[in-house]
Amino acid sequence: MPALEDVQVGTELPAREFTLQRANLVQYAGASGDFNIIHWNERVAKAVGLPNVIAHGMLTMATAGRVVTDWVGDPGRVLSYGVRFSRPVVVEDDDQGATLTVSGLVEAKNDDGTVVVGLTATVGGDKVLMGAKAVVRLS
């Protein structure tokens, strides 16, 4: 875990790339109980105007949040985490799937021992999450 005194506004968290494949969508559906057909049936996804099957929004959010939990070392230190979904993550039916690239930056350091981390999450250069922020207790 980073020490509070070593973290400043502007501190960058290590960026990560995560691969999301169709198998991950099946696993998430089983764990969450969210079997919405747009997450597994290409024909239906396209029929409702999507470019293809899309990842669950909460799977995208949770995957991006790993940048914060990996950095802090203890998920229990994350006091709050929120995002706005700005674009779906399209997951092709191939060996590559979608690559979610996530970076983080400390945006505020508070007197109570917490920091605010802003996250940037993109797929193919397009932002898929907006306003992604976590409040983390470092001391």
pLDDT digits (tens, 9 = 90+) for 61-104: 999 999 999 999 999 999 999 999 999 999 999 999 999 999 99
Q: Which of 64, 71, 56 is nearest to 132 (CA)?
A: 64
Beta strands in 1-139 (DSSP E): 12-20, 78-85, 98-109, 114-123, 126-137
- The boundaries of the domain holding residue 107 are 4-137
- Mean pLDDT (whole number) for 126-136: 98
Mean pLDDT of 29-48: 97
CA distance 117 to 106: 4
Neighbours of 77 (CB within 10 A): 18
pLDDT at residue 40 in the model: 95
CATH classification at residue 98 = 3.10.129.10
> How many independent structural domains does the chain possess?
1
Tokens at 14, concatenated: 């290590």
Rounded to an integer, what distance in angstroms lies between the CA atom of residue 2 and that of residue 124?
Answer: 30
The C-alpha atoms of residue 14 and residue 70 are separated, in whole angstroms, by: 9
Sequence-ordered list of residues with C-beta below 8 angstroms from that of 67, at least 6 positions apart, any chain: 13, 14, 15, 16, 102, 103, 104, 119
What average pLDDT does the chain have? Answer: 97
